[in-house]
């Protein structure tokens, strides 16, 4: 009997429970919640697309020590799709003797349609004539290819052979990988797989025709590697090439900007880019160069206005020198007297070749703060 056409979603690296400590607490809370909300979106999509299963290729949780409440919330987020969920432990949530998975079992919150694969082996989905060759990580780091047994694993005739694993395809991911867990680049061919569903790399990536990383469902790093997707995979008869569609499900998009200011129009251009951002954006911006005091003030206001619009913002202005012009000093009443000496002292700190970044940052902030205080005073009350 020939295998029928099957369709499944491939996702990975949810890392539920991520803390996002680099952001303010309210920003971090929203980013953490988005990871759960996007799982719910995947469940909704799975139901709407009427897929045969959802394969989660590792790192469902970020830590073994996430709270019981987080565990319950994760499994509660799956309810919209009543078909099979196949979950594979990765390096962040490895299937240790005592793990987040054993706690979930004790909490009795894993629904019957959710299969957590804690041991290597073959899992049969007879309803769609599919054999899943599963290689869960049973420790955080391994140096042997856990998918090695795929080559000799026997599966029923006419069943699709689909591999599910978490690790780094050797020679493909050169940098930035989460772990050293190696996977042979030829595994799909040597194991006669129709499809190899991988996790660990946080962007969706085609390794070859049958080998894919889904990437994280919700972007969590300032890296442009196509995160925020799930893969909708269709397989016809066994041996046929898979049809893979990348579907964006992520709520937020992260941007990293490294800006250099040298002329006033650079400030105007950056202000325009900031004005185009909105609630789906997470931004980390570093600004270097030099700016007149008035331009630096305008940039500071634009950044604070952007902070109120975007989901999260990190700003580094330590590389920006604030150099008051004669017009700036006249406007502030700082052409002579004590205030002029303060300004000169702060400029001297900025021009000190041995100054550390924090010193430069404090000097620029002090100039901006001084300018704000002076502008709030009546003109006739400003220092002269």
Which one has a higher pLDDT value, 230 or 139? 230
Model pLDDT for residues 167-202, shown as the tens digit of each residue: 999 877 655 454 578 999 999 999 999 999 999 999
Which one has a higher pLDDT value, 69 or 338? 69
Which one has a higher pLDDT value, 266 or 376? 266
Given CA atoms 293, 298, 301, 302 in this order, what sign does their dihedral have? negative
Which of left, alpha, beta for 64 (phi over 0: left; psi -120 to 50: alpha)? alpha
Provide mean pLDDT across the span 47-72: 97
Query: From CA 97, how far away is CA 318, in angstroms rounded?
Result: 47
Q: What is the pLDDT of residue 172?
A: 75
Query: From CA 229, how far away is CA 212, in angstroms rounded?
Result: 12
Which one has a higher pLDDT value, 287 or 375? 287
Q: Has residue 78 got a pLDDT over 90?
A: yes
- Cβ-count burial of 177 within 10 angstroms (0-12 exposed, 13-18 middle, 19+ buried)? middle
Taking the C-alpha atoms of 100, 105, 107 and 112 in order, what is their torsion angle to the nearest 10 degrees?
A: 130
Which one has a higher pLDDT value, 319 or 189? 189
Q: Has residue 107 got a pLDDT over 50?
A: yes
Output b/e per residue, 140-160; b: 16+ Cβ within 10 A: bebeebbbbebeebebeeebb
SS3 sequence, the chain? CCCCCEEEEEEECCCECCCCCCCCHHHHHHHHHHHHHHHHHHHHHHHHHCCCEEEECCCCECCCCCCHHHHHHHHHCCCCCCCCEEECCCCCCCCCCCCHHHHHHHHCCCCCCEEECCCCEEEEEHHHCEEEEEECCCCCCCCCCCCHHHHHCCCCCCCEEEEEEECEECCCCCCCCCCCCEECCCHHHHCCCCEEEEECCCCCEEEECCEEECCECCCCCCCCCCCCEEEEEEECCCCCCCEEEEEECCCCEEEEEEEEECCHHHHHHHHHHHHCCCCCEEEEEEEEEEECHHHHHHHHHHHHHHHHHCCEEEEEEEEEEECCCHHHHHHHCCCCHHHHHHHHHHHHHHHCCCCCHHHHHHHHHHHHHHHHHHHHCCHHHCCC
What is the CB neighbour count within 10 angstroms for residue 87?
A: 28
Q: Has residue 338 got a pLDDT over 80?
A: no
pLDDT band at residue 292 under the 50/70/90 scheme: confident
Residue 379, CB-side half-sphere exposure with 13 Å CA sphere = 3
pLDDT band at residue 142 under the 50/70/90 scheme: confident
Q: Has residue 112 got a pLDDT over 90?
A: yes
* Rg of the chain over all Cα atoms, to the nearest angstrom: 27
pLDDT band at residue 359 under the 50/70/90 scheme: confident
Query: From CA 126, how far away is CA 132, in angstroms rounded?
Result: 11
Return the percentage of the chain with pLDDT > 90, whole number: 71
Mean pLDDT taken over the chain: 89
**Which residues 6+ apart lie within 8 Å of 337 measured at CB?**
383, 384
Model pLDDT for residues 152-161, shown as the tens digit of each residue: 999 999 999 9
Q: What is the pLDDT of residue 7?
A: 97
Q: What is the pLDDT of residue 101?
A: 98
Q: Has residue 30 got a pLDDT over 90?
A: yes
* Inter-CA distances, 182 with 93, 135, 138, 187, 330, Å: 17, 12, 14, 11, 65
Phi and psi (nearest 5°) for 227?
-85, 175
Phi and psi (nearest 5°) for 254?
-100, 140
Provide mean pLDDT across the span 34-39: 98
Model pLDDT for residues 210-241, shown as the tens digit of each residue: 999 999 999 999 887 889 999 999 999 888 99
Nearest residue to 232 (alpha-carbon basis) of 243, 217, 218, 216: 243
Which range, of 144-158, 223-237, 353-367, averages the lowest pLDDT?
353-367
Q: What is the pLDDT of residue 337?
A: 62
Which one has a higher pLDDT value, 337 or 345? 345
Q: Has residue 275 got a pLDDT over 50?
A: yes
Which range, of 56-60, 149-153, 167-171, 265-269, averages the lowest pLDDT?
167-171
Which one has a higher pLDDT value, 84 or 300? 84
Q: Which domains does the chain have, with CATH numbers?
A: 6-248 (3.60.21.10), 253-381 (no CATH)
Which range, of 115-124, 256-265, 294-303, 363-372, averages the lowest pLDDT?
363-372
Q: What is the pLDDT of residue 224?
A: 77
Q: What is the pLDDT of residue 141?
A: 85
């Amino acid at each position: 009997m020939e295998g029928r056409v099957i369709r499944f979603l491939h996702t990975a690296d949810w890392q539920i429970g991520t803390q996002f400590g680099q952001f303010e607490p309210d920003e971090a809370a929203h980013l953490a919640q988005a990871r759960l909300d996007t799982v719910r979106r995947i469940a909704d999509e799975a139901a709407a697309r009427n897929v045969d299963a959802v394969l989660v290729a590792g790192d469902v949780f970020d830590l073994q020590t996430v709270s019981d409440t987080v565990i319950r919330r994760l499994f509660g987020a799956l309810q919209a799709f009543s078909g099979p969920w196949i979950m594979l432990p990765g390096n962040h949530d490895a299937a240790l003797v005592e793990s987040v998975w054993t706690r979930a079992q004790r909490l009795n919150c894993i629904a019957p349609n959710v299969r957590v694969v804690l041991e290597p082996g073959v899992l049969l989905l007879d309803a769609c004539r599919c054999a899943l060759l599963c290689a869960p990580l049973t420790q955080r780091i391994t140096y042997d290819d856990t998918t090695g047994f795929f080559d000799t694993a026997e599966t029923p005739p006419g069943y699709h052979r689909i591999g599910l694993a978490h690790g780094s395809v050797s020679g493909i991911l050169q940098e930035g990988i989460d772990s050293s867990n190696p996977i042979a680049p030829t595994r799909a061919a040597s194991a006669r797989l129709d499809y190899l569903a991988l996790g660990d790399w946080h962007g969706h990536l085609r390794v070859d025709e049958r080998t894919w990383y889904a990437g994280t469902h919700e972007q969590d790093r300032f890296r442009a590697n196509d995160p925020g997707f799930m893969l909708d995979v269709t397989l016809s008869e066994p041996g046929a090439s898979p049809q893979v569609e990348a579907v964006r499900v992520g709520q937020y998009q992260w941007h990293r900007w490294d800006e250099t200011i040298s002329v006033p129009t650079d400030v105007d251009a950056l202000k325009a880019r900031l004005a185009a951002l909105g609630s789906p954006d997470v931004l980390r911006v570093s600004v270097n160069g030099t700016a007149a005091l008035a331009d630096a003030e305008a940039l500071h206001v634009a950044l604070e206005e952007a902070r109120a619009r975007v989901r999260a913002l990190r700003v580094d202005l330590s590389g920006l020198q604030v150099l008051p012009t004669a017009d700036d000093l006249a406007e502030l009443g700082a052409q002579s007297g004590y205030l002029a000496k303060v300004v000169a002292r702060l400029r001297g700190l900025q021009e000190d070749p041995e100054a550390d970044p924090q010193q430069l940052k404090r000097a620029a902030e002090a100039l901006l703060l001084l300018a704000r205080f002076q502008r709030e005073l009546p003109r006739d009350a400003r220092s002269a």
